[in-house]
Amino acid sequence: MLHAARPNFVVIMADDLGYADIGCFGNKTTKTPNLDALAAGGLRFTDFHSNGAVCSPTRAALMTGRYQQRSGIAGVVTAARHREVGLPLEETTFAERLGGAGYATAIFGKWHLGYAKEFNPVRQGFGEFRGYVSGNVDFFSHIDQEGYEDWWKGDALHPEEGYTTHLITKHAVRFIGENKDKPFCLYLPYEPPHYPYQGPGDKAIRAKGDKKGKGERKDIATAYREMVEEMDKGLGEILAALRENGLQQNTLVFFCSDNGANSNGSNGALKGHKGQIWEGGHRVPAIAYWPGRIEAGTRTDATALTMDLYPTMLDAAGMEKDPSLDGISLLPLLAENRPLPGRTVFWDIGKGSAARRGPWKFILSGENEQLFDLSKDIGEENPVENPAIQQELKQALDAWKASWADIPQKS
């Protein structure tokens, strides 16, 4: 039987975490014992992808279960130029679906889908929000990159002292304890390892009204490691809260990143980085953990995307899937190790686009077309010749683009 009785969901999304930035994905210097334990006790995805190669698009796909272009969020909702832009209220988020079915819902951390109050998470299905709405804030002063205060309680600014990572963890643990007797969906979009590069022992570098900030650390590599390790400690506290409240057996925990690492992180053998159509831009670490439902210490090479989490949660909760969703449920894979149905998936980042089916990845950048067999060339170093496959994928990519061509892209 696939469906548990009203399972809880904890979705944890790191920010700019690269494919090889944590121990269970090959990193030898950053200590991530809790993420490693999560992988050892669950399912590790080797071929999981963010829908976008930057922040906002991936988060829009997560919220809606659809390609982000369908909601007009193809690019970053920037602090400078997009302060009146956000996820359209007519979109039905996973929080709205689950909340409507009796789930307690909360988001603690980064929203990045609208600065204006009308787009606030509590207007989009979340019963509780503590965090920031911009792309990044000072980890201590919570000032965004345009000099605005950016720490919220619901749809009102509400300053709160503390290191961003610690605050997210604190509210997560509190929420779990307060809702242990009802089903809940907890979304935790952590800030690490996105800049500004500040470890827990550092100080604020941004002040209100100051766009540039002063005193950012020079040893970025060390700060980056400290940030990831502090997030890992937070995960440990969250897992402990689930155990202590007797919820571990009935809670699906899913960890992923919103895109690949920039040049300060590690994407391992993958080519490229954040913001690029290469695998390093969108193949990210991902782990699913559900004791008693997901076999411990397993690995899957199945291709999956951020947008698949929405229908997966609906499926696990025994709810009907919305046919407009582009994502598919991963529950058969998670709970029964059944293969996912074959499909073609797509990316478009403005500077380039791609179609993927099985091992084949077709990339279109301007007039330049390339085809790769990722089963033999994960680093995308050697384009292959297969005119029939290339033509099929190009036609599929064109048809996909045409399906949202008339939708204005607001970011």
Task: Give the residue ranges of DSSP H helices in 53-163.
Answer: 55-64, 94-100
Assess contact for 145 and 79: CB atoms under 8 A: yes
In this structure, are residues 334 and 294 in contact, taking their beta carbons and an 8 Å threshold?
A: yes
The reply to whether 82 belongs to the active site is no
Active-site residue identified among 55, 142, 256, 282: 55
Q: Which long-range contacts (CB under 8 A, 24 or more apart) does 323-331 make?
A: 324/66, 325/64, 325/65, 325/66, 326/65, 326/66, 326/67, 326/70, 327/61, 327/65, 327/66, 330/288, 330/304, 331/2
Q: Which two tokens stand for residue 325?
A: 């969703």
User: What share of residues in the chain are helix, strand, coil (percent, to 5)?
Assistant: 30, 20, 50
For residues 403 and 69, the answer to whether their CB atoms sit within 8 Å is no
- The span from the CA of 7 to the CA of 318, in Å, is 9
55 is catalytic: yes
The amino acid present at 17, given as its one-letter code, is L
Cβ neighbours of 197 (radius 10 Å): 22
Other CB atoms within a 10 A radius of the CB of residue 293 amount to 20
Alpha helical stretches, state H, 186-299: 220-244, 279-282
Q: Are 151 and 157 in contact (CB under 8 A)?
A: yes
The answer to whether the bond into 193 is cis (omega within 30° of 0) is yes
Residue 306: alpha-carbon gap to chain centroid? 6
Identify whether the C-beta of residue 172 lies closer than 8 Å to the C-beta of residue 108.
Answer: yes
Choosing from 82, 112, 194, 282, the catalytic residue is 112
The H or E element spanning position 37 is helix 33-40
Amino acid identity, position 339: P
**Catalytic (active-site) positions:** 55, 112
